Amino acid sequence: MQMPRGLNGRLFYSVLLPPAAEMSLLLLSMLLFAVVAPSAAWRPWPLMTLNSSGSGSDQLLLFGGSKKYEGSSEFVHLKYHMGPVLTNNITVHPIWYGSWYPPQKRIIREFISSISAVGSKHPSVAGWWRTVQLYTDQTGANISRTVRLGMEKNDRFYSHGKSLTRLSIQSVIKSAVTARTKPLPIDHKNGLYLLLTSDDVYVQDFCDNVCGFHYFTFPSIVGCTLPYAWVGNSAKFCPGVCAYPFSVPSYMPGFKPVKSPNGDIGVDGMISVIAHEIAELATNPLINAWYAGPDPSFPVEIADLCEGIYGTGGGGSYTGQMLEDKSDGATYNMNGIRRRYLVQWVWNHIVSYCSGPNALDQ
Ligand SMILES: *[C@@H]1O[C@H](CO)[C@@H](O)[C@H](O)[C@H]1NC(C)=O
Ligand SMILES: *[C@@H]1O[C@H](CO)[C@@H](O)[C@H](O)[C@H]1NC(C)=O
Ligand SMILES: *[C@@H]1O[C@H](CO)[C@@H](O)[C@H](O)[C@H]1NC(C)=O
Q: Which of the listed residues 91, 114, 115, 146 should we mutate to test ligand 2's pocket, taking the one with most ligand atoms within 8 A of CB?
A: 146
**What's the predicted TM-score (pTM) here?**
0.81
Percent of the chain whose predicted confidence (pLDDT) is above 70: 79
Three-class SS state of 149: strand
Give, as one character, the DSSP assignment of residue 257: P
CA separation for the pair 265, 268 (Å, rounded): 5
Which ligand has the nearest atom to the CA of 113?
Answer: 2
Give yes or no for residue 186 having a pLDDT over 50: yes
Which ligand has the nearest atom to the CA of 148?
Answer: 2
CA nearest ligand 3 atom 11, residue: 134
Which ligand has the nearest atom to the CA of 150?
Answer: 2
Percent of the chain whose predicted confidence (pLDDT) is above 90: 68
Per residue in 134-143, pLDDT (tens digit) is 999 999 999 9
Three-class SS state of 206: strand
The pLDDT of residue 298 is 75
Cα-based angle 170, 113, 176 (whole degrees, multiple of 5): 25
* Residues in Cβ contact with 119 at an 8 Å cutoff, skipping those fewer than 6 apart: none
Least confident segment among 146-155, 253-262, 288-297: 288-297
Residues 71 and 131 sit within 8 Å (Cβ to Cβ): no
Per-position b or e across 181-209, b if 16+ CB within 10 A of its CB: eeebeebeebbbbbbbbbbebbbbbbbeb
| Atom in ligand 3 nearest the alpha carbon of residue 142 | 1
Task: Read off the pLDDT band of 9 (50, 70, 90).
Answer: very low
| Atom in ligand 2 nearest the alpha carbon of residue 89 | 1
CA nearest ligand 1 atom 13, residue: 75
CA nearest ligand 1 atom 8, residue: 54
Q: Is 361 or 126 the better-scoring residue by pLDDT?
A: 126
The pLDDT of residue 136 is 98
Q: Is the CB of 189 under 6 A from ligand 2?
A: no
DSSP strand pairing (346-348 vs 340-341): unpaired
The pLDDT of residue 74 is 53
Three-class SS state of 150: coil
| Atom in ligand 2 nearest the alpha carbon of residue 148 | 5
Give yes or no for residue 59 having a pLDDT over 90: no
Residues with CB under 6 A from ligand 3: 133-134, 136, 142, 350
Q: Is the CB of 178 under 6 A from ligand 1?
A: no
Q: Which of the listed residues 116, 136, 353 should we mutate to test ligand 3's pocket, taking the one with most ligand atoms within 8 A of CB?
A: 136
Q: Is the CB of 51 under 6 A from ligand 1?
A: yes
- CA-closest candidate to residue 287, choices 214, 232, 357, 186: 214
Q: Tell me, letter by letter, the H, E, C secondary structure of 81-117.
A: CCCCCCCCCEEEEEEEECCCCHHHHHHHHHHHHHCCC
Per residue in 330-349, pLDDT (tens digit) is 999 999 999 999 999 999 99
Q: Is the CB of 163 under 6 A from ligand 2?
A: no
Distance from chain centroid for Cα 361: 25
Cα-based angle 143, 144, 149 (whole degrees, multiple of 5): 130
Give yes or no for residue 299 having a pLDDT over 50: yes
Q: Is the CB of 204 under 6 A from ligand 1?
A: no
What is the average pLDDT score of the chain? 82
**What are the angstrom distances between the C-alpha of 258 and each of 68, 311, 319, 335?**
21, 15, 11, 17
Q: Is the CB of 146 under 6 A from ligand 2?
A: yes
Q: How many A from CA of 89 to the centre of ligand 2?
A: 6
Give yes or no for residue 150 having a pLDDT over 70: yes
Cα-based angle 42, 247, 1 (whole degrees, multiple of 5): 10
Per residue in 305-330, pLDDT (tens digit) is 999 999 999 987 789 999 999 999 99
